């Protein structure tokens, strides 16, 4: 079943799909009202190189050990600070300062600029988080260089470009939750429609098979119980009507004109269906069996008698 077939099925079973959609929409609206919006802010910090350069050494003198981060560069140091400030221990420090652990530090490509993105459930907590993270970055920069004991003016410092004091509410979390609810509701609606259609088809098939079985049993029973209708009695031929002069025709021989008299209850009948005692006999136009209402149609043929030729 592809998407088009599923859409056709949903349209055909709309009375199942519509209630599920209504319940899904109601759940999405209720969830949106229950979830509080997030408060977001962003701060920007840059690592600044030292303001003074290292003094040149005298001829043949060995240069005194200095700050290696000056040779590595501010960009590499920004990457190191990003890793250390995003660790679990650093996040615990931010939480202990009253902030939220849901922050993210990113680097601007090929630069020593760090951006801190913060999301919190309250505005005050967001401000406390941004302050704690900016302080943590400054402490990490100092700690990374402290072990080398740089001289004054020979160390990398931090500068805050944006303190992140502009906290704005955001309903992106509410929208994400509602989208999830709608997706689950649509999947449940499709499953309900497909399941209902399968059950309805199976039930309809059982009903059709049951009706076909009942009809077959009724037909077989009526065929077994129905009595056989009696057959009407057959009229018996009573012999030749006329014998030609000078020739004897036996009982087993067929008469010349094959015209016979049909008797019912041993009474000759005429063309009009009434008995007649005259010498001129004809075959019956029709006869009716005495015990049934079946009518036997015969062709009326007038059979001349020898006396007619004499007249």
Please tell me the pTM assigned to this model.
Answer: 0.51
Do 160 and 191 sit in the same domain of this protein?
A: no
| Domain CATH number, residue 84 | 3.30.70.1130
Tell me: do 48 and 147 sit in the same domain: yes
- Domain holding 203, by residue range, is 1-34+176-208
Query: Which spans in 38-171 are helix H?
Result: 68-72, 74-85, 88-96, 123-146
Classify burial at 271, counting beta carbons within 10 Å of its beta carbon; exposed 0-12, middle 13-18, buried 19 or more.
Answer: middle
- Residue 274 forms part of a structural domain: no
Q: In the prediction, which pLDDT does 37 show?
A: 83
Query: What is the chain's mean pLDDT, rounded?
Result: 75
154 and 187, same structural domain?
no
Residue 38 bridge partners (DSSP): 170
Strands 237-240 and 157-162 turn out to be: unpaired
Q: Is 220 inside a domain boundary?
A: no
Query: Are 106 and 6 within one domain?
Result: no
Span 76-113, pLDDT tens digits: 999 999 999 998 899 999 999 888 888 999 999 888 99
Contact (Cβ atoms closer than 8 angstroms) between residue 118 and residue 102: yes
Domain assignment of residue 120, yes or no? yes
β-partners of residue 237 are 262
**Among 309, 254, 255, 262, which Cα is nearest to 281's?**
262
**What are the tens digits of pLDDT across the range 240-249?**
444 444 445 4
Check pLDDT > 60 for residue 256.
no
Reduced to 3 states (helix: H, G, I; strand: E, B; else coil), residue 192 is: helix
The answer to whether position 299 is within a domain reads: no
Do 128 and 109 lie in one domain? The reply is yes
Q: How confident is the model at residue 138 (pLDDT cuts 50, 70, 90)?
A: very high
**Pair (23, 41) in one structural domain:** no
Residue 174: predicted pLDDT? 84
Q: Is residue 2 part of a domain?
A: yes
**Is 229 part of any domain?**
no
pLDDT by residue (tens digit) across 22-61? Answer: 999 999 888 888 888 888 999 999 999 887 665 555 555 4
- Do both 142 and 46 map to the same domain? yes
Query: Is 235 among the domain residues?
Result: no
150 and 75 together in one domain:
yes
Is residue 252, in this structure, part of any structural domain at all?
no
Max CA distance (Å), the chain: 182
Residue 269, pLDDT score: 47
Tens of pLDDT, residues 13-23: 888 889 999 99
CA distance 39 to 168: 6
Tokens of 126: 């967001």
Kindly state whether residues 3 and 42 are assigned to the same domain.
no
Residue 224: its pLDDT value, please? 53
Looking at the structure of the chain, the number of domains it has is 2
Q: Quick one: 91 and 129 in the same domain?
A: yes
Pick from 187, 208, 229: which residue ends a domain? 208
DSSP secondary structure string for all residues of 109-141: TTSSEEEEEEEESSHHHHHHHHHHHHHHHHHHH
For the ranges 96-105, 129-138, 219-228, 277-286, the lowest mean pLDDT is seen at: 277-286
Coil, helix or strand at residue 85: helix
160 bridge partner residues: 45
Q: Do 101 and 132 belong to one domain?
A: yes
Q: Return all residues near 242 (Cβ < 8 A) that are at least 6 apart.
A: 255, 257, 259, 303, 304, 305, 306
pLDDT at position 290 is 53
Angle between helices 74-85 and 123-146 (to 10 degrees): 130
One domain for residues 76 and 94? yes
Distances (CA, A) of 259 to 14, 281, 299, 309: 80, 11, 10, 18
Dihedral sign for Cα 11, 15, 17, 21, please.
Answer: positive
- Among 165, 198, 221, give the residue marking a domain's end: 165
């Amino acid at each position: 079943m592809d998407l088009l077939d599923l859409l056709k099925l949903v349209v055909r079973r709309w009375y199942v799909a519509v209630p599920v959609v209504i319940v899904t929409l109601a759940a999405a609206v209720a969830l949106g009202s229950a979830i509080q919006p997030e408060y977001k802010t962003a701060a920007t910090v840059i690592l600044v190189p030292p303001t003074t350069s290292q003094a040149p050494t005298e001829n043949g003198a060995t240069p005194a050990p200095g700050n290696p981060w000056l040779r590595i560069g501010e960009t590499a140091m920004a990457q190191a600070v990003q890793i250390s400030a995003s660790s679990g221990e650093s996040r615990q420090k931010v939480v202990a300062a009253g902030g939220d652990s849901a922050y993210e530090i990113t680097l601007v490509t090929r630069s020593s600029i760090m951006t801190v993105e913060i999301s919190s459930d309250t505005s005050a907590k967001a401000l406390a988080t941004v302050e704690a993270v900016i302080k943590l970055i400054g402490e990490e920069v100092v700690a990374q260089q402290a072990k080398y004991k740089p001289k004054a003016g020979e160390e990398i410092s931090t500068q805050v470009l944006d303190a992140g004091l502009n906290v704005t509410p955001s309903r992106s979390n509410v929208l994400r939750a509602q989208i999830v609810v709608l997706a689950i509701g649509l999947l449940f609606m499709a499953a309900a429609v497909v399941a209902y259609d399968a059950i309805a088809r199976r039930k309809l098939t059982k009903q059709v098979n049951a009706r076909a079985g009942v009809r077959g049993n009724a037909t077989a029973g009526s065929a077994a119980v129905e009595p056989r209708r009696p057959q009407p009695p057959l009229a018996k031929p009573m012999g030749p009507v006329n014998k030609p002069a000078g020739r004897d025709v036996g009982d087993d021989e067929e008469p010349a004109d094959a015209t016979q008299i049909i008797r019912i209850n041993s009474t000759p009948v005429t063309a009009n269906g009434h008995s007649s005692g005259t010498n001129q006999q004809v075959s019956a136009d029709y006869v009716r069996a005495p015990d049934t209402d079946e009518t036997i149609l015969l062709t009326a043929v007038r059979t001349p008698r020898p006396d007619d030729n004499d007249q």
